[in-house]
């Protein structure tokens, strides 16, 4: 009887094995759909890192590899403060990548991780490798600048900003985008936005190198060209960098003016921390800091202009129809 039981168990195991063999393996896309759903559910950095690493371990080479490693760099490398671990994974996967564009992007990511590690010996070589790979676009330069700023590699950031300035003219924009359909006016606007961004970054590098006078000159040059969103949020870090710089120079009142848009309207945490410090040093009066922020928000707030749009039924609805009522406006991409 025992012998027959053993035979039955062996037969059942064989059947199960055959069924498992017939079941198709999970594809990279199917696994990613599950991983993405898990990422959307969690707001925890370490859990997100584990999900990303688990997926990349199973599927190291896909069309989304670069994006996922870049995301991992943000979470594990910057937020969790373990850039060396991200670097190690990138170096493990890099030899498996055959697409040259993807390899280039991963080399840029390595610059960022090495900068965050504070490894000043290897960093120049990592930057040089990226520069030698191909002629850098403005976007490439900006990626390097921001990586070097994140890693407080100020001299290298300054070098990249100086190189990027040559790419902020309308002609340089046209060379980089030969098939653009933009008008001359739109190209001028795009080139100006580039120049403001680079001047802000260069000024920030100069300020952190102790070259304050030059930094302030860059900030002042950029100011007439700087723009803000409809809500008054600056479209570049110019005022945040400028505000911090003058605060370090002891001009708390000027810092309040410069930092307020980013801190109050934009909700930038770094700007808000500097704004609190500037407020404390400027001793504005009896109001608390929260009261000061509320007053500043109301001072900077821009009244919304009237508009008329069609609803889902085609009926026209005007903003003026809701005068005196609380309105919530939602914006989304219909994809």
Judged against a pLDDT cut of 60, whether residue 335 lies above it is answered with no
Q: What is the pLDDT of residue 5?
A: 54
Mean pLDDT of the 155-171 span: 97
Tell me the pLDDT band of 309, cut-offs 50, 70 and 90: confident
Tell me the pLDDT band of 22, cut-offs 50, 70 and 90: low
Total domains present in the chain = 3
Say if 315 falls within a structural domain. no
Q: What is the pLDDT of residue 333?
A: 61
Same domain, 50 and 115: yes
Say if 19 falls within a structural domain. no
Dump pLDDT digits (tens) for 98-138. Answer: 999 999 999 999 999 999 999 999 999 999 999 999 999 99
Say if 14 falls within a structural domain. no
Portion of the chain with pLDDT greater than 90, in percent? 78
Judged against a pLDDT cut of 70, whether residue 13 lies above it is answered with no
Dump pLDDT digits (tens) for 233-277. Answer: 999 999 999 999 999 999 999 999 999 999 999 999 999 999 999
Q: What is the pLDDT of residue 16?
A: 52
Dump pLDDT digits (tens) for 31-54. Answer: 999 999 999 999 899 999 999 999
Judged against a pLDDT cut of 70, whether residue 8 lies above it is answered with no
Mean pLDDT of the 65-73 span: 97
Same domain, 37 and 90: yes
Same domain, 106 and 48: yes
Orientation angle between helical segments 154-165 and 123-133, nearest 10 degrees: 20
Least confident piece of the model among 115-124, 224-233, 279-288, 324-333: 324-333
Least confident piece of the model among 83-92, 107-116, 286-295: 286-295
Q: Out of 111, 133, 155, pick the residue that ends a domain.
A: 133
Dump pLDDT digits (tens) for 182-215. Answer: 999 999 999 999 999 999 999 999 999 999 999 9
Same domain, 91 and 47: yes
Same domain, 232 and 292: yes
Q: What is the pLDDT of residue 126?
A: 98
Judged against a pLDDT cut of 70, whether residue 14 lies above it is answered with no
Show the domain range for 73.
32-133
More confident residue, 184 or 21: 184
Mean pLDDT of the 68-83 span: 97
Same domain, 152 and 242: no
Same domain, 126 and 45: yes
Say if 107 falls within a structural domain. yes
């Amino acid at each position: 009887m025992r012998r027959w039981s053993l035979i039955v168990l062996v037969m059942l195991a064989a059947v199960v094995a055959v069924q498992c063999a017939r079941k198709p393996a999970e594809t990279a896309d199917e696994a990613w759909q599950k991983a993405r759903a898990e990422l959307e559910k969690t707001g925890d950095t370490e859990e997100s890192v584990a999900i990303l690493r688990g997926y990349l371990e199973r599927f190291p080479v896909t069309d989304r590899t670069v994006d996922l490693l870049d995301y991992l760099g943000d979470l594990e490398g910057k937020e969790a403060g373990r850039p060396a671990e991200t670097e190690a994974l990138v170096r493990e996967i890099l030899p498996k990548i055959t697409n040259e564009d993807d390899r280039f992007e991963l080399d840029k990511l390595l610059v960022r991780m090495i900068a965050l590690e504070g490894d000043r010996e290897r960093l120049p070589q990592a930057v040089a490798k990226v520069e030698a790979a191909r002629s850098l676009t403005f976007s490439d330069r900006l990626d390097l600048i921001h990586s070097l700023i994140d890693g407080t590699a100020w001299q290298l950031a300054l070098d990249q900003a100086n190189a990027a300035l040559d790419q902020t003219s309308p002609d340089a924009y046209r060379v980089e985008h030969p098939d653009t359909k933009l008008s001359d006016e739109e190209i001028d606007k795009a080139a100006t936005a580039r120049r403001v961004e680079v001047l802000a970054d260069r000024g920030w590098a100069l300020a952190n190198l102790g070259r304050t006078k030059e930094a302030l000159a860059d900030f002042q040059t950029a100011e007439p060209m700087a723009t803000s969103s409809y809500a008054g949020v600056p479209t570049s870090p110019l005022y945040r960098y400028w505000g911090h710089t003058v605060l370090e120079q002891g001009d708390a009142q000027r810092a309040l003016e410069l930092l307020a848009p980013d801190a109050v309207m934009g909700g930038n945490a770094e700007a808000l921390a500097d704004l609190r410090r500037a407020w404390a040093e400027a001793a504005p009066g009896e109001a608390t800091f929260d009261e000061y922020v509320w007053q500043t928000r109301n001072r900077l707030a821009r009244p919304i202009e009237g508009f008329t749009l069609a609803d889902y039924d085609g009926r026209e609805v005007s903003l003026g129809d809701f005068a005196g009522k609380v309105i919530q406006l939602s914006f989304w991409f219909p994809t």
